[in-house]
Structure 1
Amino acid sequence: MLAARLLLIMLALVCLAGCPSQSNDPTKKSQTVVTITPAAETKFKEFLRDSPGDHIRLSIKDHGENGFQYALNLESPPIPSGAVVQDCQGFTLAVSPRDLVYVEGSTIDWETRLNEPDGFKFDNPNALKSTTEQTTKDRQ
């Protein structure tokens, strides 16, 4: 019993030391879901430059023997109810609870490639292989 209490106290201290503060929306708490490299952060901000208030939604489009296929969508508010929110230096990332188990602990990077189009790269400890689909909302 004492060991369980000590473990809970230690977990609470780790969370207090490592969890970001609340997002701009006081009803949604921010938590760290993925690590975003400086190169990826720069690209996300570029994509959102003309869309203040919008957020990036990260989801798993498909998963199977070939790994995960990720989708990154630029979306207008509101953030869907129940979504896990991560405040990132100047933008917001939202992940549905359904996809959280698959993406948690991942690192998102931006790669400049010689023989292929530049793009986001996922390093996900939960998957063997991955592909990324980048989509944006229609701007009419």
Structure 2
Amino acid sequence: MAINLSERAAQEVKRFQKEHNFGEDTALRIGISAGGCSGFEYRVTFDQDYDEQKDSKYEFHGVNVVVDKKSALYLDGTTVDWYESLEKQGFTFENPNAVKSCGCGSSFQA
């Protein structure tokens, strides 16, 4: 399995989807793109498009998650969690494939 979405992250996704009136056909899309200070950066969006040829689809704690197969190569084994403190909040990525990460945790090198 390419990724894992923690229960805490799933709860935050559900809250956001409800707040913004997303339909049941809207999935959390997790991927990577070239960029960031370390080479690749994580992308998290909401998407209604799913292509069986290009994407893998998962369900975690009631949340549909879509990962394109190219990103899945770099995200294999990654756990996506939700972090919240007084200073910041957002998704965190525990990626066993990352050789190096930037200080903010939003980009990595594989």
TM-score when normalising by structure 1: 0.62
Residues 2-81 of structure 1 aligned to structure 2 (within 5 Å): 32-49=1-18, 50-51=21-22, 52-62=24-34, 66=38, 68-76=40-48, 78-81=49-52
Question: Offset of 1:68 from its aligned partner?
Answer: 3.2
- Which structure has the larger Rg over C-alpha atoms? 1
How far apart in 1 are the matches of 2:36 and 2:97?
A: 12
Give the one of 73, 76, 85 matched to 1:104: 76
The alignment's C-alpha RMSD in Å is: 2.0
Higher share of residues assigned strand: 2
How many residues of Structure 1 are paired with residues of Structure 2 in the alignment?
Answer: 99
Distance 1:111 1:64, change over 3 A: closer
SS class of match (1:81)? coil
Match of 1:95 in 2: 67
TM-score when normalising by structure 2: 0.77
Seq. identity, %: 24
Question: Offset of 1:92 from its aligned partner?
Answer: 1.0
Which one scores higher on RCO, CA 8 angstroms, separation ≥ 6? 2
Question: Offset of 1:63 from its aligned partner?
Answer: 5.4
Structure 2: tracts of 5 or more residues without a match: none
How far apart in 2 are the matches of 1:62 and 1:108?
A: 19
